Amino acid sequence: MKKRLVSLLLCGALVCSLTACSGGGDMSAASQTGGAADTAAADDSADAAADTAADAAADTSADASADTSSAAGTTITVMASQDWVEDSEQELGKKFEEETGIHVDYQIVPADQYQDLLLTRLNSGEGPDIWGAQSGFALKTTYNVEQNAVDLSNEPWMSSYSKFSAEQTGVDGKNYGLTYYDTTTDYYMVYNKKLFEAAGAKVPTTFAELTDTCDKLLASGVTPIYEPLADGWHVLMLWAGNGQVHDKIEPGIIDKLNKNEVKFAEDENMKKAIDQLNTLAKNGYFGDNYMSDEFADAEGYMAKGEFAMCNLKPGSINKIVESDLNTAGYTADDFGLFVLPICDNQVLNIHPTGPSRFIYSGSPNIDAAKQYLAFLLEKDNVQYLIDNAADVENLPVEVGQTPEYSKTTLDFLDSFDEDHKGMVLQDVVLYYNEQWMDINADLAAMFIGDMTSEEVLKALDDRRAQLAQAAGDTNWK
């Protein structure tokens, strides 16, 4: 069942990619991503793919071993944003050094500083050997991967890499990166069932129900939502990660945005979504310290029962349960998942892009960097990451690994039919993801009264225009 779900999620997501990359933004087409459909043909296909990919992974490992002696003693740098490199990957880095003699220097940068620092290094010709970036539209417009990254299209591991992920890390038919992140699921609202029950609250399906649920939680002495703004990246997901609803309530809106036929600031539903986020903050649902709260503390606060819900990957439930702060004895069964009903959203967010690795074209250690990527995709190493990174249930590769989807995850994903799935805003709207940190900062400014929702959307439109003009997009001329 687990293997079948992954195959359908990844293969189905290819349909979404064709729509998103074409700029069409047809969310009805995007919603064709697969769920846990039970077909024998899909099972057979997944098994065959796993066998083929495992053989390819073995070939990759052999090729890498053949080059080891020439690269021994080399140090390669891996530069990534905060939370993009799992502790278990760093453990794999030690194993890689033991096997090859190549040392891996992980350079982790705070999220709110990362993009500016990376672009400064790339533009100055001093890029790290391996650099991280979100896959998707911005690779061409912001990171210029055709100039700043090595073409990886002919690497042996490409046969095991999700074809859809390869489209997202590629430009014009060439693949430049590797998405090393669990894109088979997205961030959803993880909630504490016991706290909900004690407060007499129910899982909301409309925004009115959400405010009612939050009011009941507050009355019971529990802060409803843990929303960490200090990192500068998380709060926008409450909108973008539910923004797939926009094309359901306004069919064609994504296409119009991408053709510059309408602006965000001109759309009432976009303003409604932003205003609803503001309501959550103004009503105290984020607590007193949300401006300084950090994402790294999310599982701990959830484990203590101080907060009832948080927008997290479903695998984070394991971290909550295993936390030393879980003195209440919560089990995995005490937590559930739901989509945040911004604009009454009940459409599952599909988000197949994610943090990816690219080899700097100017690196003197390209061969060593290639060995490292190949090493990460060996079957045992993929399985090690899945088994040891609590919030990773799978990776977008097929090397014969065993995913670790919980029953909670499977049941949640399988509860959405094909008409209730859609791509998140940053994966279908041009010139949106490139300004992710800026939009987050503007939302924070709105929460404290320094900006209005109209000003937030106007600023988003202005930056989109600048990015589009820099890219030579004729729709903005």
> How would you class 304 by CB atoms within 10 Å of its CB: exposed for 0-12, middle for 13-18, buried for 19 or more?
middle
- Three-point CA angle 429, 432, 438, nearest 5°: 165
Exposure string (b/e) for 144-156, b if CB count within 10 Å is 16 or more? ebeebbbebeebb
Q: Note whether 222 and 307 are within 8 A (CB).
A: yes
Report CA 130 to chain centroid distance, whole Å: 19
User: What length is written for the chain?
Assistant: 477
Helix (H) or strand (E) holding 276: helix 268-282
- Beta partners for residue 171, in sequence order: 174
Name the residue with higher pLDDT: 451 or 11: 451
pLDDT of residue 141: 86
Q: Please provide the average confidence, as pLDDT, over all residues in the chain.
A: 88
Mean pLDDT of 213-233: 97
pLDDT of residue 214: 98
Mean pLDDT of 316-339: 96
Pairing label, strands 335-338, 188-192? antiparallel
Cross-sheet strand order for the sheet of 75-81:
103-109, 75-81, 130-134, 355-359, 177-179
Q: Is 183 helix (H, G, I), strand (E, B) or coil?
A: coil
Calpha distance 426→423 (Å, rounded): 8
Calpha distance 428→17 (Å, rounded): 9
pLDDT of residue 28: 29
- Residue in the structure block whose two tokens are 């430049």: 176
- Beta partners for residue 177, in sequence order: 358
- Residue in the structure block whose two tokens are 């960490």: 228
Q: What is the pLDDT of residues 243-276, one digit of tens each?
A: 999 999 999 999 999 999 999 999 999 999 999 9
- 352: confidence class by pLDDT, cuts 50, 70, 90: confident
Calpha distance 376→53 (Å, rounded): 14
pLDDT of residue 253: 97
Taking the model in full, what pTM does it have? 0.83
Calpha distance 105→113 (Å, rounded): 19
Which whole-number Å values give the CA distances from 135 to 180, 370, 414, 461, in the listed order?
11, 18, 26, 22
pLDDT of residue 388: 94
| DSSP one-letter string for 7-41 | HHHHHHHHHHHHHHHTT---HHHHTT---S---HH
Residue 299: closest CA among 285, 313, 280: 313
Instruction: Please tell me which of 26-40, 134-148, 323-337 the model is most confident about, judged by mean pLDDT.
Output: 323-337
pLDDT of residue 55: 52
pLDDT of residue 17: 35
The two tokens of residue 86 are 């799992």
- 67: confidence class by pLDDT, cuts 50, 70, 90: low
Mean pLDDT of 343-362: 96
Name the DSSP letter for residue 361.
T
- 20: confidence class by pLDDT, cuts 50, 70, 90: very low
Q: Note whether 93 and 104 are within 8 A (CB).
A: yes
Q: What is the pLDDT of residues 389-405, one digit of tens each?
A: 988 999 999 999 999 99
Name the DSSP letter for residue 121.
H
pLDDT of residue 10: 42
- Residue in the structure block whose two tokens are 């069964």: 333
* CA torsion through residues 208, 211, 217, 218, sign: negative
Contacts of 70 (CB under 8 A, 6+ apart): 367
Residue 226: closest CA among 240, 212, 216, 238: 238
pLDDT of residue 355: 95
Q: What are the structural domains, with CATH classification, of the chain?
A: 2-184+352-416 (3.40.190.10), 188-349+431-476 (3.40.190.10)
- 366: confidence class by pLDDT, cuts 50, 70, 90: very high
Q: What are phi and psi of 397, to 5 degrees?
A: -135, 165
| DSSP one-letter string for 201-260 | ----SSHHHHHHHHHHHHHTT-EEEE---TTSSSTTHHHHTTGGGHHHHSTTHHHHHHTT
- Beta partners for residue 174, in sequence order: 171
- Asked if the model's pLDDT at residue 5 lies above 70, the reply is no
Q: Is 107 helix (H, G, I), strand (E, B) or coil?
A: strand
Residue 202: closest CA among 350, 406, 405, 341: 341
Calpha distance 23→406 (Å, rounded): 35
Q: What are phi and psi of 8, to 5 degrees?
A: -75, -35
